[in-house]
Amino acid sequence: MKNGKASSMMVFKKLMNTIGRYKLLLALSVLLSALSVVMQLYVPILFGDAIDLIIGKGNVKIDNVLRTLIKIAMLIGLAALFTWTMNLINNKISLSTVRDIRASAIRKIQVLPLSYLDSHASGDVIQRVIADTDQLSEGLLLGFNQLFGGAVMIIVTLIFMFSKDTWISVMVVALTPVSFLVAKFIAGRTFNMFKRQTEARGRQTAYINEIVGGEKTVKAFRREQASSEAFAKMNGEVRYYSQRAVFFSSLTNPSTRFVNNIIYALVAMVGALRILFSPGSLSVGALTVLLTYANQYMKPFNDISSVITELQNALACADRVFEIIDAEPQTPDAENELDNVRGKVEISNVSFSYDKTKKLIEGFSLEAEPGTMVAIVGPTGCGKTTLINLLMRFYDVDKGEILVDDAGIITVTRNSLRRSYGMVLQETWLKDGTVRENIAFGKPDASDEEVIAAAKEAHSWEFIRRMPKGLDTIIDDNSLSQGQKQLLCITRVMLLKPPMLILDEATSSIDTRTELMIQSAFNKLMQGRTSFIVAHRLSTIRSADVILVMKDGSIIEQGRHEDLLAQNGFYAGLYNSQFVNPAL
């Protein structure tokens, strides 16, 4: 783990770079803060003058006292107005800063390689973008309101104090570093604890997301108790780090207050002794002003120490968000566009593995002419879906190259490459919105006629038209059956009619009768289009132009269905195993 002080300073610098976009608002906030503080601190001088006007026999000047009180009231009113305006500006700066950071995080997620997202739990990423930025917002609000005003308060107070009495002011300044040392000592330990707390909270959020999403599986396998125990352990970690973080941060305020109270007492004692033993060197009114300033001078230190918990928590949360923003993005896009795609795909001596210490695909080669239907079969983990990831450039190959229409896919933009494919996966995904929005996800400007035609081709129109509002029915990922969701995903591709298709177990959740109809629609859609089909049910790919049989990342057999059966090899064993009753 990085040193707490160094880490928090690095995060603070990154945060200030973002805040720097609002320099004018920041300057206005500081100006208003300075004006407000000057007015607040001039009030004690007026009070001191008023006190001196009523001390001594026959020295009471009511008219002057009243004029002084009117000035005091006007200054207090203006100071309140400036403070209110400053707080509005600080709110805008802090909320705008958090908005920018959150937007930067979302934009960065869009360009991060899938390897990053695959290696981080989705719940933890959500925690960083949503909850951690909320914590940062609260910390910034406190920071702006307390730190800026406090810094100005300290500077202006010193100026007024030195104007009243040099020696007492020097004594106060000389003792000030003690408060700094105490706060600095505790702050470094506080940051580390809050960082561990936010990390533990991220793991907890990821686990909750996982368990809630798979609650049926948890109940089916009777893992409720085990899940609760695992959560309790994570909850204990959050509690442990939270308690230690709050404990360390809670030491700051009473420690600095103790030091500051000693300073206040020394000012009172030294001032009183000077009034007694050195008449004329200091008046009672002047001592009253100095005591007020000593208290005002120390108050910012107390205020800052009181919000140190939130500030350290905010920096720890910002650190986690900046980890996403600073993550290495995917390799930049080339400038060339892939247009007028015919559908010729060539895979030349490709090697790839997720974990570079474990081989997955080695020396893979394939050439598919336009309109070719390529089926990919093989046991689980042989690299079928990995090949799809490489074709779509979700991952880049380690060696070799993949070409579409004789153009290397790394030489064209990812958007133009992915626009050339229509993909239906076994895992379905729908966004919260209308049926129409989900179908037209890849073609937002599609007309209702186009959407309905695609739905009819995909055989999803039957259940769509029975919905309360048809295409305008609001759905989410949990409002439809798995089969209906898959039909909508198929409809999404039917609408696009791309030059190439990728079907990864696209009909796995659909009943046999509907599957036959969709297969007929797919056959129509695939005419003249290059298609890559990953299938476990080998009966669905008997009409493929070429079947690739994969094992351990390599093609061990390839050919048409009848030819592979005639070879009586690995494919024949896979195919015939579908019809073998294991009980016999």
User: In this model, does residue 3 exceed pLDDT 60?
Assistant: no
pLDDT digits (tens, 9 = 90+) for 344-363: 999 898 888 887 777 778 88
Q: Where are the beta strands (DSSP E) in 535-584?
A: 546-551, 554-559
Q: Can you say how many angstroms the Cα of residue 541 is from the centroid of all Cα atoms in its chain?
A: 42
Q: What does pLDDT average to over the chain?
A: 80
Domain boundaries, the chain: 7-325, 345-577
Which tokens hold the place of 219? 């109940």
- The phi and psi torsions of 496 (rounded to 5 degrees) equal -75, -35
Structural contact between residues 547 and 571, judged by C-beta atoms closer than 8 angstroms = yes
Cα separation of 210 and 285, whole Å?
Answer: 67
CA-nearest of 44, 52, 35 to 71 is 44
More confident residue, 303 or 533: 533
Residue 40 has pLDDT above 90, yes or no: no
pLDDT category at 6 given cuts 50, 70, 90 is: very low
CATH code for 7-325? 1.20.1560.10
Distance of CA 329 to the CA centre of its chain: 15
**CATH code for 345-577?**
3.40.50.300
Residue 1 has pLDDT above 50, yes or no: no
Taking the C-alpha atoms of residue 67 and residue 18, their distance in angstroms, rounded to an integer, is: 47
- pLDDT at residue 402 greater than cutoff 90: yes
Return the pLDDT at 584: 41
Most distant CA atoms of the chain, gap in Å:
126
Model pLDDT for residues 376-391, shown as the tens digit of each residue: 888 877 777 888 889 9
How does pLDDT run across 437-457, given as a tens digit for each residue?
Answer: 989 988 888 999 999 999 988
Alpha-helical (H) ranges within 112-165 are 114-118, 122-126, 133-143, 149-164
pTM of the full predicted structure? 0.65
Residue 329 · residue 108 · CB < 8 Å: yes
Q: Pairing between strand 373-377 and 546-551?
A: parallel
Confidence of residue 430 (pLDDT cuts 50, 70, 90): confident
Q: Please name the residue that has the structure tokens 């420690």.
A: 255
Length of the chain: 584
